[in-house]
Amino acid sequence: MLITELLERNARLYGSETALAEINPSEERDRAVTWRDFNLIESSCEYMPYRREMTWKDFDRRANRFANLLLSRSVKRGTKVAILLMNCLEWLPLYFGILKAGCIAVPMNFRYTSDEIKYCLELADVEVLLFGEEFISRMDPIVDSLTGLKMIFFVGKDGPAYTENCLELVNYCSSSAPPVALCENDNAAIYFSSGTTGFPKAILHTHHALAASCETEQKHHSQTRDDVFLCIPPLYHTGAKMHWFGSLISGSKAVLLRGVKPEWILRAVTEEKCTIVWLLVPWAQDLLDAIDSGKVDLDHYYLDQWRLMHIGAQPVPPSLIHRWQKIFPHHQYDTNYGLSESLGPGCVHLGVENTGKVGAIGKPGYHWESKIVDEKGVPVGADEIGELIVKGPGVMQCYYKNPEATAEVLKDGWLYTGDMAKADSDGFIYLVDRKKDVIISGGENLYPVQIEDFLRACDKIKDVAVIGLPDSRLGEIAAAIIEIKDGAECTEEEIRQFCEALPRYKRPKKIFFDIIPRNPTGKIEKPVLRERYCHGRLVEAQITG
């Protein structure tokens, strides 16, 4: 059954029940509004703007309306339609509307800069774009150069002159299912990843892969109609959406929380009676720290129904889980490992019954296989390090328009992850290191080449290398090792001021001044730098060149 058919089934069986709720704790609550279709309109009904919800029937109707809007504009099967939105109640109905129209959904990272937005739109051959008010300042500088776009829809009240108002137009479209027949082999979505160059790759997936993710997630975490899933991570990411697929297949409620403060998470769990929460490492760390410091008093919340906490997107420190289990001993716990190329929600997962193996990422997920192989593709023995490769229903079709990169990672149906791992005698897999230089900080990928290229624009910098350093909260942080030009003087504060032009999450958290080692072919010897700085052999300092 396709995920669009699951939505239609839920609308038939559970139509009047809540499918999704959105909570924005930071939003003002002083005006009276109500929700009708996609539009916020004036009303005499008292309704707090910080919380909105919709039923399964409304969810399906809204998806149908947007699908019919696309079809009314003669959008053809296979057209790429991009979504550039923060998490909100509109996000998933628009996504399903794209699929129902036979188009290919292209979720966009809401942290992309203008240049990254342009690059990804052109890479994926996007013809239709939806974006919200948070992105106007990033769209304005590039809109005239986006020659491939045929339609730009604004998701909000007052959009720029070059957009059409999606929220108004859908009200004139039919809420009946569009006359488009889909099959599991149809292409369904493009998600973005990136290689060691830092430039995103477009990852193509089919309807079959999306549906398989639903089944995998439900088998791993046993969602029932009584569960309520708290979704905090961004919906553009495969992890968040594919974990929500457990709610889709079970017909259960999910809550989109726009904020990560510990008290907001606990309040949402209490008020919405959440039973399943997926966290990133820094959020779990912050919650535990808030409890330990007394900033948060658990007696003020009702958490007895909370049964499962699971974590993914980055390596999880065992010490964090041991702390969590002391405070929440009744919780089930799971770790999920996946890639955008394997479409989440856990081609490898620990399993709630295996908490004695905390520190491992687990075993192959439902309908998945895995191997750890040497450079020739030959499986290695227990406790030997090799590259983790996986095979299953969520493996990508290809890197869109990039056959060379596809051939590097797809071999005989196996996906080569680029992650180095080992398995113990019981078959549990442990990550050891990554082949790639990508830094995973708080669940976000940071690409050193991009940061290095930016820093090299500083006229005092001769050479620069960016590496990841271990961090107890974020998993890793970016550190910049900077070689100053001969005769120049530069301080750490000057570098930090220069980096203010970067998005906050890309700014190096540590700055060192040193000579950059390079090998005879001119490549930076990053292993040398990791050895030097990860073991504290040099002290961070402000040194003039």
DSSP 8-state secondary structure symbol assigned to residue 345: S
389 pairs with which residues across the strands? Answer: 371, 416
The beta strands (E) that lie in 133-279 are given as 151-155, 164-165, 187-194, 200-206, 228-231, 253-257, 276-279
Alpha-carbon gap, residue 246 to 238, rounded angstroms: 13
Q: What is the pTM of this model?
A: 0.82
Per-residue pLDDT, 434: 65
List the one residue out of 227, 240, 230 whose CA is nearest residue 267.
Answer: 230
* Strands 33-36 vs 39-42: parallel, antiparallel or unpaired: antiparallel
Per-residue pLDDT, 442: 86
Number of domain units in the chain: 2
Residue that terminates a domain, selected from 158, 182, 206: 182
We report the CATH number of the domain holding residue 52 as 3.40.50.12780
Alpha-carbon gap, residue 267 to 9, rounded angstroms: 31
Alpha-carbon gap, residue 104 to 82, rounded angstroms: 8
Per-residue pLDDT, 433: 60
Alpha-carbon gap, residue 111 to 116, rounded angstroms: 9
Alpha-carbon gap, residue 507 to 2, rounded angstroms: 41
Residues 80, 81, 86, 88, CA torsion sign: negative
3-state secondary structure of 401: coil
> What parts of the chain have a pLDDT lower than 70?
27-49, 194-198, 313-315, 433-436, 519-523, 535-545
Q: Is residue 419 part of a domain?
A: no
Alpha-carbon gap, residue 434 to 454, rounded angstroms: 24
For residue 41, the enclosing domain spans: 1-182
Per-residue pLDDT, 540: 41
CA 489 to each of CA 452, 493, 514: distance values in angstroms, whole numbers, following the listed order: 19, 12, 13
Alpha-carbon gap, residue 543 to 211, rounded angstroms: 55
Q: Is residue 466 part of a domain?
A: yes
Per-residue pLDDT, 281: 79
Alpha-carbon gap, residue 164 to 149, rounded angstroms: 13
Question: Tell me, what amino acid is at 343?
Answer: L
Q: Is residue 462 part of a domain?
A: yes
Question: Tell me, what amino acid is at 545?
Answer: G
Q: Is residue 306 part of a domain?
A: no
Q: Is residue 375 part of a domain?
A: no
Per-residue pLDDT, 530: 86
Per-residue pLDDT, 40: 34
Residue that terminates a domain, selected from 126, 159, 182: 182
The beta strands (E) that lie in 323-424 are given as 332-337, 348-349, 363-364, 369-373, 386-391, 398-399, 410-411, 414-423
We report the CATH number of the domain holding residue 458 as 3.30.300.30
Alpha-carbon gap, residue 338 to 340, rounded angstroms: 7
Q: Is residue 323 part of a domain?
A: no
Residue that terminates a domain, selected from 182, 197, 228: 182
Per-residue pLDDT, 68: 98
Q: Which tokens hold the place of 167?
A: 């929220």
389, 373 Cβ separation under 8 angstroms: yes
474, 441 Cβ separation under 8 angstroms: yes
Q: Is residue 492 part of a domain?
A: yes
Q: Is residue 310 part of a domain?
A: no
Alpha-carbon gap, residue 530 to 32, rounded angstroms: 55
